[in-house]
Amino acid sequence: MIGLGAWEAGGDAWGANPADEDVVRAFHAAFDAGITWVDTAEVYGSGESERLVGKALAGRRDDVVVASKVAPSPEGTGFTPDQVRTACDASLGRLGVDALDLYQLHWPDENGVPVEDTWGAMAELVTAGKTRSIGVSNFDQELLERCLPIHHVDSLQQEFSMLALDDRALIRWCGEAGIGVVTYSPLGVGFLTGRYTRADAEGIDDWRSRNEWTTPEQLDETFRVVDGLRPIAEREGVSMGELALAWNVAQPGVTAAIAGSRSGDHLRANAAAGDHTLEPEVLDEIEALLS
């Protein structure tokens, strides 16, 4: 299953935002193409993403699963129980909905708030009817095991792609423990779409250049994988992005993948990837490439 990630709608990712109506139109294209859930967060554009998702949901709420997140302070509202409740109410207001389908802790807190206190507040939101499910993002197994005795962890959202395999064992463990896994950045921050040449990548000056994605060593590995995938995608009759997404959701433990864009065409292509099943021999071929 492929979902719509709304980080880019907040204007944090690739520069200035398009007009509201263009973003909403792209979201509608995704929904019309069969994407039935959207993931946003309070920190995406300081609430701007949630506001735009809310506009896109007008008249469509019953057809779309809506997920959002609260982040630790100072970036987000914070992880004390009172802060979690305040953050949830604010997100509901920006989204214009009565309840979320999934509410998540965006990343672990480093301010000393015990995760047990935070997770207890999240569980209370379920009891209060403000969210149907609760999950976490960017957590490790130790933190997940601290949450589980308090309330089931419905989902883990984690970075995972052919270019980011570090959490493969954790994702498999979650599948065995009955925790759904939603992967983010399944397109390898754009490189797995095949749209970039090595020269293009070396000239990138956005947030990726500050996160080691464009170091010479990383680009060597990135383009070894990308160049190896091109003939496989051509043979399968799919785009590079569709191949990367289909591979992602086929991995043990993965429930769904989030793919974001502000382009209606890209979102329609992402939706199509959810319908493409890779044969075992193709998965084996890709696995050999990644080994």
Q: Mind telling me the catalytic residues?
A: 44
The 8-class DSSP code of residue 8 comes to: G
Cα separation, 208 vs 161, whole angstroms:
15
Q: What are phi and psi of 8, to 5 degrees?
A: -60, -30
- Residues 276/22, Cβ–Cβ less than 8 Å: no
Please calculate the CA angle 47-19-40 and round it to the nearest 5 degrees: 30
CA angle 21, 204, 46 (to 5 degrees): 40
CA-CA distance, 53 to 56, in Å (whole number)?
5
Q: 177 is written with which tokens?
A: 């423990």
From the list 65, 79, 50, 189, the residue with the least C-alpha distance to 137 is: 79
What phi and psi values does residue 276 have, to the nearest 5 degrees? -100, 120
Unique residue bearing structure tokens 């590995």: 221
DSSP 161: B
Label residues 22-39 b or e (16+ Cβ within 10 Å = b).
Answer: ebbebbebbbebebbbbb
